[in-house]
A = this chain, B = another copy of it.
Amino acid sequence: MLTHTEENYIKTIYHLSGDANRDVSTNGISEVLKTKPASVTDMLRKLSEKSYIHYIKYQGVTLTKKGKKEALQIIRKHRLWEVFLVDKLKFHWDEVHEIAEQLEHIHSNLLISRLDEFLGNPAFDPHGDPIPDPQGEITIRKKYLLCDMAVGFNGVVVGMLETSPAFLQYLDRLNICPGAKISIKERIVFDGSLEILLQEDKQLVISYEVAKNLYVSD
């Protein structure tokens, strides 16, 4: 069984390597995990021995099939717990990450399948990210920047490019959050701002700057 630390490294490698399974750098990992590169090297040797990663000295790492499977299980747990925290315990979608970071390390398959069922088998977490199924399959949902969509577009908010507290607070004030329904009514040519309809009832105007930082999907 993996330790919390090993799980965190695997998860970080997954996030850094992206869908394309690109090579991940030692420094990159150390930055995310706030450890020194030397510590990362030690762990990489260990994970390589346990065959969770492909690792060649000085050349970066990728996850093996086994490692990727493990990463997806951890992400599945993390995102299911986030849904629990937001849907059931009324947390704001923006304050659940740290708690889910702890909960994702609870070991019990039965717990996770029961939780999944209890939550109604959600496909996306409160940030709009897909929740891997028990086999590690994820529903890929193409996402676009709102600013690139045409008048008449109709879809849902699935995330933000910019994640500074200032931006998130502003969005919150506008009632824009992941999962919110959004459609484009008009584009103001003068400054690129958009007139939108939110949740099918609130009409408002958002600046091009805001639209440039909002991911949507249809």
Interface residues of A (CB under 8 A from B): 85, 88-91, 98-99, 102-103, 106-108, 110-111, 114-115, 118
Select which of B90, B91, B99 is within 8 A of A106 by beta carbon: B99
| Least CB separation from A106: chain B residue | B102
- The reply to whether A118 and B102 contact each other, CB–CB distance below 8 Å, is no
| Least CB separation from A90: chain B residue | B114
Select which of B88, B107, B110, B115 is within 8 A of A102 by beta carbon: B107
- The reply to whether B111 and A89 contact each other, CB–CB distance below 8 Å, is yes
| Least CB separation from A4: chain B residue | B4
Give 18 CB contacts A-B under 8 Å. Answer: A85-B111, A88-B118, A89-B111, A89-B114, A89-B115, A89-B118, A90-B114, A91-B110, A91-B114, A98-B108, A99-B106, A99-B108, A99-B111, A102-B106, A102-B107, A102-B108, A103-B103, A103-B106
CB distance from A108 to the nearest CB of B (A): 5
A114–B92 CA distance with the chains assembled, in angstroms: 12
Please give, as numbers and ranges, the residues of chain B lying within 8 Å of A85 by CB-CB distance: 111
A215–B102 CA distance with the chains assembled, in angstroms: 36
CB distance from A139 to the nearest CB of B (A): 24
Please give, as numbers and ranges, the residues of chain B lying within 8 Å of A98 by CB-CB distance: 108
| Least CB separation from A114: chain B residue | B89
Q: A85-B111, A89-B115, A99-B111 are in contact. List 15 more A-B contacts (CB 8 A).
A: A88-B118, A89-B111, A89-B114, A89-B118, A90-B114, A91-B110, A91-B114, A98-B108, A99-B106, A99-B108, A102-B106, A102-B107, A102-B108, A103-B103, A103-B106
